[in-house]
Chain A
Amino acid sequence: MKCSDLKSKISLYIDGILSDGESRSLDDHLSACPLCREHVNDERQLRRDLGKLGRPSIPPAVVGSIKFALREKVSEGRPSIFSTTVSDWIPMRLMPLGVGIATSLVIGVSFLSMMFAGARSAGEIISSDRGRDTRIMLAPGNSDGANDISPTEYARSRMSVAGESPSINPNGAIVALTRSLVGSRMREDEVVVVANVLSNGLARVTEVVGGDTDPKTVADLERALQTDGSNTPFVPAVMDNRGENVRVVLKFKTVNVSTRTAPKR
């Protein structure tokens, strides 16, 4: 074995990552070659010395500065109004409603079409009662219906107001309906119906406000309100701290808003 053949292997030999066979061959050569032994010794010393160079300590002011910068980023990092999930916005935006026999819910659908040609996003759900409004934002483009908040969590967050204002099921049919309207503008700018919300979370349209409402939109709404199963439009009464039957007014409204600014009420 020539010295030149071993030169490139000495580092691996020192670091202990040569095979047993290669190491034995190198051992044999080293026992007979003082030049290579010197090379190995030099490199071992070099490695030890490099390890002893120590590690410079970071100045505490730098640590503080990095933490501060990250804290700022974290606080700035709150998702924008158009990318926020329902779970973030529903509890935040929902305000207590007034007491009354009839509770009105106004559901608005905003079509966001300014930024991308032809692209429209879901908008907002507005709850109102006796002139006091509560606005709920839906996550635009989240058409798979998977919301982070569960119906139980949402209902729990509105315990104090659910008696007069039934909690919409965040994974339910009304939310899904608003999403289905994204990209397919309603024929009218506004659809208003009166409905009874039942104890099981389903609802039934009892009156259509306005004589010229598109029958197809009303039919879609009726189907959504009566959808059975786990995606009932409202949270069932047992989970929602409300009475067996509550009358609501549902209002669907189309508004065009710029994606560059938050929608104004």
Chain B
Amino acid sequence: MVFTRSMTLDDEEFRSAAAAAQPLSARTTYESELLEKLKANDADAFDRFVDSYSGDVFSLLYRLTENADDAAELTQETFLNAYRSIGRFRGDSGLKTWLFRIAVNESRNRFRWWKRRRRERTISLDATIGDSEMTLSDVIADRGISPEEEVLSRERRAALHAALLDLPIAFREAVILVDIEGLSYEESAIALDIGIGTVKSRISRGREELRRRLKAF
């Protein structure tokens, strides 16, 4: 998170000041070099691109869809879309933020499709995935958390998942990006293609809704 308490400007002022200070999500040298090669249609660079960001994109899409197959399919669509669009990418944000924006759009399109189909689904954390014996709980198990850290209880995790899934999509997107994926408010605004004031509002209301739902468990 890059915000500090000294940044107390309203949305418009904030955007101007932030833009003047330094580029949002300033690209690293690695990203700059990679972007250059991607634009040159370098096949090896696309491999590195996938290695570097597919995990993040999959994680985001998994949280947005709560379905491993959908997340896998949409992750591929996101990268194919990125391939088609890379020539027009001006580097105004980091590559990851740009990919997240594409991924969010892909998931929104899928969400609309689902709504059209009026398909209903319920997810059990104990349901197995595909032909494997792995359950949803196994797949979404903690990664990168040291044993010393407090681990969420199974019940609390299940409750959080259920509450997240029940959240209106606009709030869910914002909460997932900021609280789970760890994007800043600025990066989330770019990924969601909304103003930073709207991000603040959605985070506040999303967390409030989550708290309310969790109390029911």
Contact = CB atoms under 8 A, between A and B. Distances in A.
A73 B5 contact: no
Given A50-B160, A62-B54, A66-B50, A56 B8 contact: no
Contacts of A55: 55-56, 59, 143-144, 180-181
Contact of B8 (A20, A42, A46, A71): A20
A11 B76 contact: no
Contacts of B131: none
A53 B72 contact: no
Contact of B43 (A18, A23, A71): A71
Given A56-B59, A66-B79, A69-B76, A47 B151 contact: no
Given A16-B4, A22-B8, A70-B79, A52 B142 contact: yes
A18 B5 contact: yes
B152 to A, nearest CB: 5
A17 B138 CA distance: 35
Contact of B200 (A11, A51, A56, A58): A11
A11 B140 contact: no
A149 to B, nearest CB: 15
Given A42-B211, A57-B58, 6 more contacts: A7-B208, A11-B203, A15-B178, A49-B156, A55-B56, A62-B75
Contacts of A131: none
A18 B10 CA distance: 11
B3 interface: yes
Interface of B: 1, 3-8, 41-43, 46-47, 49-51, 54-56, 58-59, 62, 68, 71-72, 75-76, 79-80, 83, 139-145, 149-152, 156-157, 160-161, 175, 178-182, 185, 200-201, 203-204, 207-208, 210-211, 214
Contacts of A21: 8
A7 B212 CA distance: 13
Contact of A65 (B76, B152, B210): B76
Contacts of A20: 5-6, 8
B145 A47 contact: no
Contact of A51 (B7, B47, B55, B180): B180
Given A43-B207, A49-B152, A17 B3 contact: yes
A35 B62 CA distance: 35
A229 interface: no
Interface centre among A9, A22, A66, A70 (most CB of B within 10 A): A66
B207 A47 contact: yes
17 contacts: A8-B204, A12-B200, A17-B7, A17-B185, A51-B179, A54-B143, A55-B56, A55-B59, A56-B59, A57-B58, A57-B143, A59-B68, A62-B75, A66-B75, A70-B47, A70-B79, A73-B80
A19 interface: yes
B211 A52 contact: no
A84 to B, nearest CB: 13
Contacts of B156: 49
Nearest to B161: A53
Nearest to A74: B43
Contacts of B41: 74, 77
Contacts of A47: 179, 207
B55 A58 contact: yes
A234 to B, nearest CB: 30
A10 interface: yes
A23 to B, nearest CB: 6
Contacts of B151: 52
Interface in A227-249: none
A47 B59 CA distance: 18
Contacts of B185: 15, 17
A11 B199 CA distance: 11
B207 A11 contact: yes
Contacts of A39: 211
A74 to B, nearest CB: 5
The 5 residue pairs across chains A and B that have the minimum distance between CB atoms: A19-B8, A54-B142, A58-B58, A50-B179, A17-B3
Contacts of A62: 54, 58, 72, 75-76
